Amino acid sequence: MLIRRAILLKRTPAKWGTIATCCFAVITLVCRAWAAGGAETDAALVALDTLDRLIAVREASTTTLRLRTHLLLRCGKREEARELLEVASEGTQVPNDLLVHHLILQTSTTNRQAALSRLRGLAKSEESPTTTYLYFDFVRRAFPRGPRIMPINTGTALQWVPLLRSAVDRAGGSWLVVAKQGAAALELVAAETPITKSLLMSMPRGDELSRDATEKEMAKRTLDNFLAWCKRNNVSDKDPALIRRLQAPLLYHAGLTEDAITLYEELVEKHEATASAFYRLARLYESSDQQTKADATIKAGISRFPEQNSILLVTAAEYAIAKGNTEEAVGLARQCLTGSSEYPAAHLLLAEIEVKRGNHSAALEACADTAAYSYGWDGDYITRINAVLEALVQQAQQKDK
């Protein structure tokens, strides 16, 4: 009953009253996945429409309620999301992935301090990289003059692009911290995304870059600045391995593919590569039509990093699907989620597999998980969720005939 009531709630215009403009801006930015901008908002609106069509032919459920709430947040419909959260909390405990957004929305009310305190406690108590990212991103925007410490652990967080971005944002001008975390994030993100340019702008001397420049131009300029800084500070003599690790992703984003491959191969050979370096080298091989080397590199990375290998497992699963090995892909995706339960790419992969198998509930649940845990990531997560929802609508309509 509560679910149906939540879906059919009458929409009312937001009444901001005397809410401070800064709080309104903060909530808007957090709930609309800042990095992807308007493109993601448009995709979320389309996905909302598709979900409503699915609900029209299939009974609403707690999963559709959860997915709908995240889609509303993604397209900036805060008041509608708040109504769903309020209704859901009347009859059952709000899942933590929704609770964090509920608390962020409550910071615009008279209970702001209480909500902020609960939000801080949730971020500290939950071993959730998504919650940690959303909390620190909210605090950074709400309190720009506040503490600039952003803890990054050596485990899952080093593979979590949103957390790495937050670390770069909160580095307080520390050249080395920005370079390390920025390079790690650049290694994980695809080319030509808003996140890529944002990271390059955050790198040392990034103020000299123009957002109108191409990614390759920005990366080349950043690389020149980086090498000049190393020379001035004798960094190459002190830690040559660090220089190689920071230089490699800049070569990739500068479009210097052969140079990037050579340097990544050197990192692997010298046992200096991180898990993300194995990933980037595999993708470089893949783009150079060297799929056999790409497969071998991913397998070597998984063997070298048996625990911190989420991105490697998902990539191996993608390669398995390309070869028609669906069961192997499912096993690899689930193995990834065993070690990193919120990894969005693994959830999305499972959604796409389950919908092809005709497993409606499993596909829908994986879509909700993907929407819940992909805040701050690059990629077309919402667009691909919509494709799964479209397939579910078609399957439901055919079943009713």
- Taking only the tens place, the pLDDT of each residue in 89-138 is 776 677 888 988 888 888 776 677 787 788 888 877 767 889 888 888 88
What pLDDT shows up at residue 91?
Answer: 61
Q: Over 90: is that where the pLDDT of 60 sits?
A: no
The CA distance from 396 to 54, in Å, is: 8
| Residue 20: band (very low, low, confident or very high) from pLDDT cuts 50, 70, 90 | very low
pLDDT digits (tens, 9 = 90+) for 184-198: 889 999 887 888 888
Domain ranges of the chain: 1-153
pLDDT digits (tens, 9 = 90+) for 380-392: 999 999 999 999 9
Calculate the dihedral angle through the C-alpha atoms of 2, 71, 352, 92, rounding to the nearest 10 degrees: -30
Per the prediction, the chain carries an average pLDDT of 83
Identify the burial level of 10 via C-beta atoms within 10 angstroms of its C-beta, where 0-12 means exposed, 13-18 middle and 19 or more buried.
Answer: exposed
Q: Are the CB atoms for 48 and 75 separated by under 8 Å?
A: yes
Which structure tokens are listed for 207?
């103020």
> Which long-range contacts does 119-127 make (Cβ < 8 Å, 24+ apart)?
122/96, 126/96
Write the CA distances from 197 to 89, 202, 274, integer angstroms: 39, 9, 23
Query: Furthest-apart CA pair in the chain: how many Å?
Result: 73
pLDDT digits (tens, 9 = 90+) for 221-236: 888 888 887 788 777 6
What pLDDT shows up at residue 92?
Answer: 64
The CA distance from 378 to 126, in Å, is: 24
What pLDDT shows up at residue 331?
Answer: 97
Of 4-8, 55-59, 344-348, give the lowest mean pLDDT range: 4-8
- pTM for this one? 0.85
pLDDT digits (tens, 9 = 90+) for 300-353: 999 999 887 899 999 999 999 999 999 999 999 999 999 999 999 999 999 999
Q: Over 50: is that where the pLDDT of 144 sits?
A: yes
Q: Are the CB atoms for 135 and 119 separated by under 8 Å?
A: yes
